[in-house]
Amino acid sequence: MALSRRTFSALTGCAALGFAMGGSGGPGAPSAFAARSVPTGPPPAPPRADGRRHTIGYDPYSLLVDGRRLVVWSGEMHPFRLPSPSLWRDVLQKMRAHGFNTVSVYVSWNYHSPAPGAFDFSGVRDLDLFLRMAAETGLYVILRPGPYINAEVDGGGFPGWLTATKGTARTADPTYLGHVDAWLTQVDRIVRRHLYTQGRGTVLLYQLENEYDSHVTEATGRAYMSHLYKKVRADGIDVPLFHNDKGRNGYWVPGSFDTGGEEGGYLYGFDGYPSPSQNPPDWGKFGPGGPKGGATASPNTPGFVPEFGGGWFDPWGGAWFDGKGYPEARRTRDSAYERRFYLTNLANGLTLHNVYMAFGGTSWGWLPAPVVYTSYDYGAAIDEARNVTAKMAPMHQLGHLFQRVPDFARLDRAADVTVPGLKVYHLANPDTGAQVYVTRNDGTKPVTAELPTSAGKLRITVPARDARMLATGLRLGRRTMKYSTAQPVLCVTAGKRDVAVFAGRRGDLAELVLECPQEPNVTRLDPEAGWAYEGGELHVGAPLGEAGLSRVLVTGGGTETPLVLLFADDATSMRIFPYDTPSGTLVVYGPTLLRHAEVHGSEVRLTGDLDDDPVIEVWGPRGIDTLVWNGRRVPTRVTLSGSLMTTGTLPGVPEVRLPELTGWRKRTENPEAGPNFDDSRWRRADRTTSYSTTPVPKGGPVLFADDYGFHYGDVWYRGTYGGGTGIESVRLSYSSGTQGLLMAWLDGEPLGTHRLPVPDATTTIRKGTWEATATFPVRPELRSPGRHVLSVLVRRMQHDQDGKGDDTHKAARGLTSVSFTGAAPEVSWRLQGERAVDPVRGPLNNGGLYGEREGWHLPGFPDRDDREWEPVTFPREERRQGVTWYRTTFRLSVPGDVDASVGLRLEDDPYRAYRAQIFLNGWNMGQYINNVGPQHTFVLPNGILRTRGANTLALAVLSEFTTLSGPGKVSLTLLGAAAGGLPVTPVPSPGH
């Protein structure tokens, strides 16, 4: 039923705006790296390892893949922050489904190299497996192997052993370059098997260095960059290379260092993390220009942001987010933030755009840099528990738009448009005539105004601190759309019909006008939509979000190809998935996630996830009549729009029950504090020189843990001396990362605990190395003649990053010097840290606690056969200085067709000063500091967590004696669940 013209106008209240989608075809493929005039045309097909040669070039607008323009819409994830390879595929499939065509990954040197010349790319470190998964998922890869990555990881990715080597990092120092070459040889050996140019994988771009803003004007800096370039090329990496400039300095643009005569194989990129309290900056077409202007520093290469804020990291204590943690990061950098900032980037010509992070994950073990705690959720669109959050909507919409509407790959700045209260960017495609308008409201109140466009004035409302993107002159398949007040998401041909999707905020009224020389037949498939035809124009209107998806079918009107118009609010748009198959393109609506689709004759086979009881609808090749969902055939009917729709809802998620954690057993440790402990096998502290940036105290010895091969976790010291009479106090100087801690005993008696302060929001929040001196009085009864043993435990946290290229990762960790007042005894020192590297869990899993060295964290340890392990219940209230271990086991029985994400929750009186290392099946899943926070929930990734079987949980609790200590309440919590998921292969958890 058509609405009257008067009724329709009252519903919309909008003037005319032109809008259409599509473009002309592109030319053949140019030679590698060539820049040539490439008109707007279809984008390249989704990438895969197809065995064919491909070219990757560029011009100032975009990358050119096989001669076709590619807008890179990338998201960052780090395989090392998800130590369960089965879940890599889960995250990659979620990224692809929600609009990303590329995944960007760091490769962390410290994660793969436990010692000089030793490299491990097996198990959770299998880079080859990850790259295969990316290709199988249909994602390009931006590879970023360092050697320095920053990334808020220990040492910025430098291995711990590098701290104790000669040579200055991030320079042309030959010793350092020798280590770098050994690392890159191993990485590149894997990467060259996955180059898209060779058809063996989907590696599209390769980063040489990261945020290298030191030695820029010095010969050593230029020689370093040149060395990296030539090394990577010599290793057979033939895709374009780039550097990620920190802060848009114009550093390391093409031509700034020697590339061995090669031209055109290098891109300039820069990163940016603007605050949500700022107005979005112009780093391109609308910016001030020049070397500090962003993309204008390299006008002959396309605008490239290898990192743009998809969230932000949170420090110990949570000062940046008022102690509220990553939910607050996600709230402040929400969908509106993304629309304002990402659309501004689009307007400025940034067609290579990487969101950091798309999935943050977990800095498990001793992986995190000093500036962060265990969780690296980042406020990302996919949270740490792998749930897709509401802030994914703009990325979903823009990603599919860039892949399906080629006009956005080539836009020039057009005539300025001024609207009171709004910032307007006007761009035009020189080939198709399509015009784009980004309207941004930087104020605190909504703005309603008339926007002048090439198709007339359009009355729009832009909410406060938000943005909208509109366009004119695009094609909708075989038709031209005159205007739409909703943002286009995609337009594809599915079988014998075109399908176009538009989205906006819930409650908005979408108005769309098609140019129709003849009156078309219009079928309103949902009652919310309305339409009217007059003067060669079809007006269609639909309120967004009131009843899910609004569908309108248009036939005739000058073309034989039907057009299906789909109108959605943000939440609904995230349930619309295009998928290309050899039989044609599908558009699937309804599931929470579409993982994979195939067409076999008349049968459509879909796999994916459900979190409610949806109806599923599919537009696809003609003749399809059967739908199979996750291996089960479901009843369907054919709709008036030609889609295949289930006749009923599909079952959602069954209840997931988690057990209470009981059966705890306890054992105290730190026998190292006792005077009679046998430390004869410990390393003797006998060095007098060090490569550390921390000065060695006059007269020595060197006490720095790294110099003795102990690079991660806790380290113990035992100093033996005679003649204790006269000693009044002991001064223990130590150096650590954020929240380091020192405990001391003399002859087994506690002297006290010293803990470094919580970072503040301004001066110390980024501080990577903290130095302090703890002074403890020596009681008279401990001043007797004879032998005495001073025992010190240092939780040194992690190594500083080397962001400024001045070897800050080499700052000492552990004790730095010891002195006494009242006497000056000669002390003989021994120290002990982590034992041999865990061959499965890697070098970052374990530290030097007694229980770790004895395997108390491992599954299968016989705690119930050992009389020293006593049964206990939680909550606990104890007062002691030292380490106490708690162990229990539990079983899960999650249904096999349910993907459940489970976390461990710790809660206690916030004034109690203690911390706990969390071990699940022997894997160190992170550190909890009760009186600092803000993290209380720790994700337990499936694969390490046995969701259908037995699990061992161990807590190593460090109590400071100054307060009562727990643990308090310790429980499992369900963080998310979906019907579907992927099969998860258990990650090996070798036991005692």
What is the helix (H) or strand (E) element at residue 72, kind and residue range?
Answer: strand 72-76
Give residue 259's identity as a one-letter amino acid code.
T
Residue 580, Cα to own-chain centre: how many angstroms? 26
Q: Which two tokens stand for residue 407?
A: 């006009």
Q: Considering 211, 338, 528, 960, which one is annotated as catalytic? A: 211
What is the helix (H) or strand (E) element at residue 553, kind and residue range?
Answer: strand 550-556
Q: Is 527 exposed, middle or buried (0-12, 13-18, 19+ CB in 10 A)?
A: exposed
- Tokens 């399908």 — which residue? 499
Q: Where are the beta strands (DSSP E) in 273-422?
A: 303-309, 350-356, 412-413
Our answer to whether residue 852 is catalytic in this structure is no
Q: What is the DSSP letter of 503?
A: E
Q: Let me know the angle formed at the C-alpha of 905 by 901 and 909, rounded to the nearest 5 degrees.
A: 165
Length of the chain: 992
Q: Which two tokens stand for residue 293?
A: 């202007």
What is the helix (H) or strand (E) element at residue 92, kind and residue range?
Answer: helix 85-97
Instruction: Compute and round to an integer the Cα radius of gyration of the chain.
Output: 30
Give residue 466's identity as a one-letter amino acid code.
D
Angle, in degrees to the nearest 10, between helices 335-347 and 393-404: 30
- Tokens 């039907």 — which residue? 562
- What lies within 8 Å, CB to CB, of 326 at 6+ separation is 311, 314, 360, 375, 377, 378, 379, 383, 384
CA distance 691 to 708: 12
- Tokens 């699937």 — which residue? 588
CA distance 738 to 679: 29
> CA torsion 289→292→298→304, rounded to 10°?
-100
Q: Considering 76, 209, 307, 511, which one is annotated as catalytic? A: 307
CA distance 965 to 944: 28
Q: Is 674 exposed, middle or buried (0-12, 13-18, 19+ CB in 10 A)?
A: middle
What 3 state SS string does 429-446 have? Answer: CCCCCCEEEEEEECCCCC
Q: Give the torsion sign (CA, 394, 396, 400, 403).
A: positive
CA distance 271 to 295: 11
Q: Give the torsion sign (CA, 809, 379, 575, 528).
A: negative
- What lies within 8 Å, CB to CB, of 477 at 6+ separation is 21, 22, 491, 493, 498, 500, 561, 563
CA distance 318 to 372: 9
- What distance, in Å, lies between the first and last C-alpha atoms of the chain? 73
Q: Where are the beta strands (DSSP E) in 592-714?
A: 593-600, 603-609, 617-619, 626-629, 632-634, 636-638, 644-646, 665-668, 683-684
Q: Give the torsion sign (CA, 855, 860, 864, 870).
A: positive
Name the residue among 494, 353, 508 with its Cα closest to residue 446.
Answer: 508
Q: What is the DSSP letter of 3?
A: P
Q: Is 14 exposed, middle or buried (0-12, 13-18, 19+ CB in 10 A)?
A: buried
Our answer to whether residue 450 is catalytic in this structure is no
Q: Which residues are known to be catalytic?
A: 211, 307
